[in-house]
Amino acid sequence: MKKDIIKTIIRDFHVAALPALKRRSQQIPVASGKIVTLVGVRRSGKTSLLFNIISDLLQQGTPITSILYINFEDERLDLNTEELDLLLQAWQELYPDMLLDGCSFFFDEIQNIAGWDKFVRRIYDRGARNIFITGSNARFLSSDIATSLRGRTISYEVFPLSFTEYLTFREVTPDLNSSKSVAMINHHLQDYLSRGGFPEVIGYSNSLRNRVLQEYFNVMIYRDLVERYEIRNLPALKFFLKRIVSSATKQFSVNKIYHELKSSGFTIGKNQLYDFLEAAINIYLAQTLRKHSDSLVDRELGERKVYVIDTGLLNALDFKFSDDTGKALEEAVFLELRRREKEIYFFKDKAECDFIVKQGFEVTEAIQVAATISDAQTRSRELRGLTECCNRFGLRHAVIVTHDASEEIEHNGIAVSVIPLYRWLLLP
């Protein structure tokens, strides 16, 4: 019975047309000879990237029957570890002339099946070289990969749309030398900061978008956290996640939340709250930014800020967030730096700098984010933080990302470029 269901799923994919999808800017190799892993938050576009790769293969003349695509969140698939081989049996019974080394395998949300890594390794060891897998939990994927697939994989993180991609999805071609185009870009930037970058909700009305994003959040709670991590203390988990959301762009203290829960009558251990935070990071709901320190212990155990994976999700969950332009800008800059795969920290001594970028052992960039620096007190604070940071790391140039201001400042020997957010986001 299960094999027949699998055959139906395989054939349904082969006879149906691929959905018409916009292209993402992220480049995924089609023939690397490695097991390609795409990991990221739910609904960020991992499946669409798989379909883009499948489309490329078809355009190159690959027959559709040599492509096996399985979505492990299909409710018809109720497989355990021992039954994974039914996938190969069903496919080879449908197409007995197919050989593994000439086929491409696409396994979507494969983390849902325990022991998936051994199954994938067996296919790889038998000669299959075009294998693509996706998952929404970095810990489960990385732990399985580390044990069974080490050296055989390359991994890519998939985030919601960048602003450049958002403009592409909106069919806007930016021209930074045209005042009319810049006005249009800024109009869409406000939408982007409000709506975020989840591809599905682009073009939705505000009420529908918020409802869909809130549903994303509920799925993360119940499927990705409660079920996957077997969390029993649901009230404490919900309180903890709400505090993460309300603390976006701020320093985050598990110890403080522990005392808040304790004073509210919750019985929970502090270590469990650290587990909650790790789980939220693993499913990409939250990301943390550590304070820079030359000491590894201080970096790992010291202060850190928390960010949420998407500004639209933040607005759907915390209506106060939409009123704070500075926070929205800082969220957008953080997420873009993560998309660009930068190693980032925040700097804090007598003053603070929002982001520093490291390459190897060297700090190469210092970035402040402020809605505006027209206010004298704000301007002084942001420049003081940049100056202290630049002097600490021997930098002679720094950047302030603002809502719409643009100027060049010389401050205490530091050249500071003030750049509007739209231009910074569109930098190559």
Q: What is the pLDDT of residue 151?
A: 83
71 occurs within a structural domain? yes
Half-sphere exposure of 363 (CA within 13 A, CB side): 23
Q: Residue 111 domain-assigned?
A: yes
Residue 306 within a domain: no
Q: Where are the beta strands (DSSP E) in 41-82?
A: 67-71
In sequence order, which residues have a C-beta less than 8 Å from that of residue 221 and are 6 or more positions away? Answer: 237, 238, 241
User: Domain end: 103, 130, 158, which one?
Assistant: 158
Final residue before a domain boundary, out of 139, 158, 177 = 158
> What is the side-by-side order of every strand in the sheet holding 414-420?
343-348, 352-359, 362-369, 397-402, 414-420, 407-411
Can you list the pairs that 55-63 forms with residues at least 24 positions away whose Cβ atoms lie under 8 Å?
A: 55/18, 55/21, 56/30, 57/30, 57/104, 57/130, 58/18, 62/104
The distance of Cα 178 from the centroid of its chain, to the nearest Å, equals: 32
- Last residue within a domain, chosen from 107, 141, 158: 158
Total domain count, the chain = 2
Least Cα distance to 67 among 3, 17, 13 occurs for 13
Domain ranges, residue 346: 342-428
Cα distance between residue 116 and residue 81, in whole Å: 7
Residue 303 in any domain: the answer is: no
> Digits of tens for pLDDT over the chain (428 positions)?
899 999 999 999 999 999 988 999 999 999 889 999 999 999 999 999 999 999 999 999 999 999 999 999 999 998 888 899 999 999 999 999 988 888 999 999 988 788 898 999 999 999 998 999 999 988 776 766 767 788 888 999 999 999 999 999 999 999 999 999 999 999 999 999 999 999 999 989 999 999 999 999 999 999 999 988 999 999 999 999 999 999 999 999 999 999 999 998 988 999 999 999 999 999 999 999 999 998 877 777 788 999 999 999 999 998 676 678 999 999 999 999 999 999 999 999 999 999 999 999 999 999 999 999 999 999 999 999 999 999 999 999 999 999 999 999 999 999 999 999 999 999 88
* Residue 188 belongs to a domain: no
CATH code, domain carrying 90: 3.40.50.300
Q: Is residue 247 one of the residues assigned to a domain?
A: no
In a domain? residue 249: no
281 assigned to some structural domain: no
